Amino acid sequence: MQGLRGADVEITLIDRRNFHLFQPLTYQVATGALSPGEIAYPLRALFKARSDVRILQANVDGIDPDNRTVELAAIDDIKPAPVNYDTLVVAAGSAYSYFGHEEWREIAAEVKSLESALAVRSRVLAAFERAELSDDPTIGAAELTFVVVGAGPTGVEMAGQIAELARDTLRHDFRTIDTAQARILLVEATDQVLASFPLSLSRSAVRALERLGVTVLLDHTVTGINHTEVTLRAADGTEARVASRTVIWAAGVTASPLAGQLGELAGDEVDRAGRLTVEPNLTLRGHPEILALGDMVRVRGGDGQAVTYPGVAPVAIQQGRYAARVIRDRLQGHSTRPFHYHDKGNVATIGRRAAVVDLGYLRLSGTLAWLVWLVIHLWYLIGFQNRLLVVIRWQISFVTRGRGARLITTPR
Amino acid sequence: MQGLRGADVEITLIDRRNFHLFQPLTYQVATGALSPGEIAYPLRALFKARSDVRILQANVDGIDPDNRTVELAAIDDIKPAPVNYDTLVVAAGSAYSYFGHEEWREIAAEVKSLESALAVRSRVLAAFERAELSDDPTIGAAELTFVVVGAGPTGVEMAGQIAELARDTLRHDFRTIDTAQARILLVEATDQVLASFPLSLSRSAVRALERLGVTVLLDHTVTGINHTEVTLRAADGTEARVASRTVIWAAGVTASPLAGQLGELAGDEVDRAGRLTVEPNLTLRGHPEILALGDMVRVRGGDGQAVTYPGVAPVAIQQGRYAARVIRDRLQGHSTRPFHYHDKGNVATIGRRAAVVDLGYLRLSGTLAWLVWLVIHLWYLIGFQNRLLVVIRWQISFVTRGRGARLITTPR
């Protein structure tokens, strides 16, 4: 959108939501460190001054490539007119996959949308409240056991934040329970946390997690989840049951169903994660007027092999800019060189003054890495007001070890 | 609670919620000016340093005055132990009453709890989104018609805020609809808005509302509400139907059911609004160990007549302090003079630089009144962090006429 500023085009932005969510900080909403309004920005405010941009808040029902229209879902008795396009850019993202266990979805909470983050916040905080209310030490211990599944960036951040919540923020808040006794298990199927990082940084992340009191279980898979316990299988096949009432899901993702629809159009199969493969210039094979990007696609390389980029914000941002360039180049009759991802590095945070940064030529962990993480995330956060509010919240949290937004707002 | 600091007592605070809500600013959450975390403060953070205070987040199932215990509702398989008391203070508040039309409750949204304010925010914002999506001008006009029922402080604030939202904040946000064409009707059954104010201030409030573009309908009652229209009856008995899809309810309130239970205990009937009558020292007749306060009670005066205080924060605050004094006096064997409400004045806001202030000896309206309103509300807002964040949000909103928190977060 930003890349098309001033181009001779009319843009219609269709989104289910009326706001842009800064996903890398969603986990801070889930643990009460930040408020929703601080990491989300109204789309209409963002494009207020752009008279070339029309915004429609709607769900997409389907794409009709023959008529070049997008069908929007009806809302009550309102049936929106189909939206015509000359060029269609699809960036519909992905959702968590429960590996075929759909029944886990309602038990194991995820941190993806703003609503899901708020639901996690309520569930994590309510577990402490229930433990304080309970007379039964067995129930109390289960309430104070948190299982985080998947040790990618989100899983690591959530485990670290819950540990800080229990050991720092809530430490003097309760009279009956000792929140420092909370157990936080981070379960990872592979032999490494933060698999996209070099092993040395991954190991310092494990040490930082353990310092915070997180139990890291590598080479463990989840084989069962119900409302009161989680079943784990170790690499040697032995199973263990953990009494826990709060499970956070941060394992695999699956692409938006629109990837499947576009895949059929191109006569291509989607991969196991539901991702569509697009041409080197992000267009759909046989449909150069359709571009797709973000973590719903893989990109065909020069050798014809599909390249899977990590499902992180920098990839999506660069692909969005690239799509704008393709459109501009076409208007001028030029062709565009294939998409090339410029990997600027990788950063993940574990907790207070604990993060890992991999810039290729430079690897950092600890306080310095954490400061790098802070600066990068503030830089990319949209909106001056949000930046200011987040800086203030972070400063106060750093000094007081408090979390001002720890509200239980979802009705039980 | 604050009034019992240092007293030789042990306090158990039972609340359904884990936070204190600053109710006078809830309407700003409902219109996207503030974020929930800015007007709510975690109870446990508030009493962190008070080792004499134990907090239980639970619903009260009932009061057993013979055993002097409070029964708490079970949560899943957790059955909390009953809580013993020597002195019981009940401040359970009130809820909106739909005058016997319970079917209106799910249609006409209210601004009372934090969740209800968030639901109203989503509904008001979604109405503009749906109007933008709709091809049908009749549906579009109905989506842009907002009916606010009841012209007390909340009704006046909501009508004023929706008008500012439509005319200022969202003015350049849409491409198809003209948000300035939105109709905001404020319906009041009596012949005056802000009935607790002198007529001159009430009239300037009407003028301020009309300047913002609100249509004020005095002497009109609501006789029907459904999903697409509201039926209004004028004083002369004529009925009119208004096509509207967003109705905000800010009319009568009814006291918590606990008032009824306590009333039975005292052998007293509750009044039409469900309020219990307490003795001049806020105790329950025949049960000096039980005190009740806030907008769930009326207070017996020296002449035996029940006095109804306005359902505003200052009354509840003064009664809370008084209850603490009663408990302290008893510990020292003193009796306490009857509760006396010290009316410091009345303040209500309509919009940007528009408010009314009645201090008895001084009546203000316009910008000066608005500044008084600002200072008072910041003063009473709990928590340094929240005050700072609210000041920043307000400053930015004042300059930009924006509302940073206009997110639609409740799932449709």
What are the pLDDT tens digits along chain A (412 aa)? 788 988 899 999 999 999 999 999 999 999 988 888 888 999 999 999 999 999 999 999 999 999 999 999 999 899 999 999 999 999 999 999 998 899 999 899 999 999 999 999 999 999 999 999 999 999 999 999 999 999 999 999 999 999 999 999 999 999 999 999 999 999 999 999 999 999 999 999 999 999 999 999 999 999 999 999 999 999 999 999 999 999 999 998 899 999 999 999 999 889 999 999 999 999 999 999 999 999 999 999 988 899 999 988 899 999 999 999 999 999 999 999 999 999 989 999 998 889 999 998 999 999 999 999 988 888 888 777 778 778 787 877 777 777 777 888 865 4
CB contact under 8 A, A35 and B37: yes
Residue B290: predicted pLDDT: 98
Cβ distance of A78 and B134 shorter than 8 Å: yes
Across the interface, whether the CB atoms of A135 and B80 are under 8 A apart is answered: yes
Nearest to A133 among B80, B175, B405 (CB): B80
Q: Which residues of A touch B406 (CB under 8 A)?
A: 18, 42, 45
- Chain B residues with CB-CB distance to A55 below 8 A: 132, 175
Domain B102-251 has CATH 3.40.640.10: no
Q: CA-CA distance, B412 to B410, in Å (whole number)? A: 6
Facing residue for A56 by CB, picked from B133, B405, B408: B133
Q: Which of B38, B71, B110, B157 is catalytic?
A: B157
Domain extent listing, chain A: 2-95+254-331, 102-251
Report yes or no: B290 and B323 within 8 Å, Cβ to Cβ: no
Closest-CA distance, B364 to chain A, in angstroms, reads: 32
A–B interface: beta-carbon pairs under 8 A = 164
Of A37, A51, A407, the CB nearest to B19: A407
Distance from the Cα of A260 to chain B's closest Cα (Å) equals: 25
pLDDT under 70: residue ranges of chain B? 410-412
Structure confidence at residue B412 (pLDDT): 40
Which residues in B lie closer than 8 A to residue A388 (C-beta atoms)?
Answer: 392
Which residues are paired to A277 by β-bridges?
A298
Inter-chain touch B404–A396, beta carbons under 8 Å: no
**Which chain A positions have a beta carbon within 8 Å of B136's beta carbon?**
78
Q: Flag if B175 and A135 touch (Cβ within 8 Å).
A: no
Q: Closest approach of chain B CAs to the CA of A394, in angstroms?
A: 11
* Cβ atoms of A42 and B406 closer than 8 Å: yes
* Distance in Å, alpha carbon of B57 to nearest chain A alpha carbon: 6
Cα–Cα dist B318/A18, whole Å: 42
Q: Report how far residue B226's alpha carbon sits from residue A43's, in angstroms, rounded to the nearest whole number.
A: 31
pLDDT at A302: 82
Please answer whether residues B83 and B56 qualify as being in contact, where contact means their C-beta atoms are separated by less than 8 angstroms: yes
In the prediction, which pLDDT does B279 show? 96
Contact between chains at A78 and B133 (C-beta distance less than 8 A): yes
Q: What is the pLDDT of residue A96?
A: 93
Catalytic site residue from A71, A157, A188, A279: A157
* Cβ(B183)–Cβ(B191) below 8 Å: no
Homologous superfamily (CATH) of A2-95+254-331 is: FAD/NAD(P)-binding domain (3.50.50.60)
Enumerate the residues of chain B whose CB falls inside 8 A of the CB of residue A118. Answer: 409
Distance of alpha carbon A338 from alpha carbon A323, whole angstroms: 11
Strand B346-351 to B354-358 pairing = antiparallel
Q: Are A94 and A83 in contact (CB under 8 A)?
A: no
Residue B141: is it exposed, middle or buried by C-beta count within 10 angstroms (0-12/13-18/19+)? middle
State residue A412's pLDDT score: 40
Is residue A157 part of the annotated active site? The answer reads yes
Q: Are the folds of A2-95+254-331 and A102-251 the same?
A: yes
